[in-house]
Structure 1
Amino acid sequence: MRIVNSLVERCFAVIELLATEASAMRLGEIAERLDLQKSAAHRMLNTLSEKGWVEQVPETGFYKLTLRLAILGQRFLSATHLTDVCQPVIEELAAESGELVRMAVVQSETLTWIIQVQGARNGLKYQPEMVARVRLATTANGKAYLSRLDPTDAIRIAISDSARDGERRSIVVVEEFMEELKLTLNRGWAISREEVEIGVVAIAAAIDRGGQTVGTVSVAGPSSRVTAERHEEIASSVMSTAAKLGELWPLRQRYNNEN
């Protein structure tokens, strides 16, 4: 539960909650999750509905986001040319590894998935649930990102992120997690061994743009294929891809052109 105060904060809190759940929610649950009075939540939802951000399901009376937010997000990505430039590089890694490859971008103190390419052609295929936000404490992408931060900030962000949705694993021993992040930073890649989903292993590296972490890229697949013997090989390919993406990163080019 988190407390929101101003009108603007409440609007964004409602939108973020509905975007995270990606499903219709009843008024009472929204009010409870955001620590709002039902009357205040109802007024907020009515306002968002009038503006086209939220809609009410006639059969149930529950509330859900419209596609307006998704459309605006696609417009923004199109304007930055991010997916256009990065997609071929992601596809190349997917073909080389024969596994699922995903790329995430840094947004404030979070990671958001934006590209996913399935490289597996036969046998088991890892197809994760389609959610936008990357869990930070348990995923390889999250650990790759956190390893590039100041340790104090990394722990604070990881704990806060885990608390948002009651993540299965919590950081019980901070010292051990810090050691894992230190190891990740030193070798240049992170690994998640069945921490998010049983039977799935992922390896990720941070994408650097001029000394700043702008995103992450990862390879993930069944533990029967992403075995310990393949970890170094996959990690090398992931780091190489991360370096290519850092060189091509279109947001840097756009910024340079405008300045």
Structure 2
Amino acid sequence: MSTLEKSLTIIELLAAKPAGLSVSAIANQVNQPASGVHRTLNELIRLGYVRQVQDQGDYALTMKLAALGVGFLGRTGVGDVAQPILDRLAQISGELIRLSVIDGDDLIWVAVAQGATSGLRYDPGQEQGVVVHLASSSGGQAWLASMSDEEALERVSRQGLTRAGATSGPGAPRTIAELLAILAETRQRGYAVSVNSYIIGMAAMAVPIMNGDKAVSCLSIAGPAVRMTVERMAELAPHLMQAAQEIGIAASGSRYFPGLHKSA
């Protein structure tokens, strides 16, 4: 493993542990010697990406990396293109709206809008920049359903049928046969539905944003399962599809929606 790979592995781990971790805990989780981890952490401290919570204490990321990410995302224009549409859909649905973009083999949440103003709701700030687990999320299932079963299974095999380091809900597919059945239902229905799958107690629906026969992004509505019933999803489906079409048209000039502008 190269020095760069070791550093990035530690950064990715700390990004999931904002309260920080000890050297020994980091070493155990990244499978690196504690002495090497300590040297890497000192170098990351020097560069401003890591801080020690207190003397002889845990290590945590600084805001430098987050600031770079926010600045980068802002300069791509993704938010400028999509945010007004997301906000309108959030107001119509009263739920959490999430936009994800396809980056190589990954689907990454990049923008959100929260429509719920009271009662049960999910924090939209927790998932921006997170790579979507394809098999258990509505956005992932929407993307997988836009391709052949063979290609879908290839992508799932790279990422894993179950979420690494997390517990999926009882509604998540546990076998390839279950996943393929879900994808078939998604294609027939016209939008993906996941209930108690990615998170227990949450229901979500999603559609891909298409350029011809290729998906370039995904748009989803998520909320508590007690509100996001099958009937409610059917009511919201036309609004979700219209918003996805509008984003596809509006994003035609942004290179961060791969493929949208190439066929123009």
Q: TM-score, normalised by structure 2?
A: 0.84
The equivalent residue for 1:42 is: 38
Of residues 101, 105, 109, the one that matches 2:105 is 109
Question: How far apart are 1:84 and its partner, in Å?
Answer: 1.2
* Letter in structure 1 aligned against 2:51: E
Aligned residues: 252
Alignment of 1:45-60 (within 5 A): 45-58=41-54
Bigger mean CA deviation after superposition, 171-180 or 131-140: 131-140
The answer on whether the counterparts of 2:143 and 2:218 sit within 8 Å (CA) in structure 1 is yes
CA deviations 1:144-202 (Å, max 9, x no partner) are 12323413323314416x35314335753211112212332343311111223343211
Bigger mean CA deviation after superposition, 163-172 or 13-22: 163-172
CA deviations 1:61-86 (Å, max 9, x no partner) are 21111111111112211221110111
Partners of 1:254 and 1:124 lie apart in 2 by 32
Of residues 136, 142, 145, the one that matches 1:147 is 145
Partners of 1:158 and 1:189 lie apart in 2 by 22
Q: 1:129 to 1:46 in 2, by over 3 A?
A: same
Partners of 1:206 and 1:185 lie apart in 2 by 11
Q: 1:163 to 1:139 in 2, by over 3 A?
A: closer
* Aligned Cα root-mean-square deviation (Å): 2.6
Of residues 229, 232, 239, the one that matches 2:231 is 229
The equivalent residue for 1:219 is: 221
1:159 correspondence with 2:160: yes
Partners of 1:43 and 1:147 lie apart in 2 by 45
Q: 1:27 to 1:174 in 2, by over 3 A?
A: same
Of residues 175, 178, 181, the one that matches 1:179 is 181
Where 1:164 maps in the other structure, the secondary structure is coil
Q: TM-score, normalised by structure 1?
A: 0.85
Partners of 2:118 and 2:225 lie apart in 1 by 15
Partners of 1:157 and 1:238 lie apart in 2 by 29
* Letter in structure 2 aligned against 1:93: L
CA deviations 1:47-70 (Å, max 9, x no partner) are 111111111111562111111111
The equivalent residue for 1:26 is: 22
Of residues 240, 244, 247, the one that matches 2:246 is 244
Unaligned runs of 5+ in 2: none
Bigger mean CA deviation after superposition, 148-157 or 95-104: 148-157
* Letter in structure 1 aligned against 2:152: P
1:93 correspondence with 2:93: no
Partners of 1:75 and 1:156 lie apart in 2 by 33
Unaligned runs of 5+ in 1: none
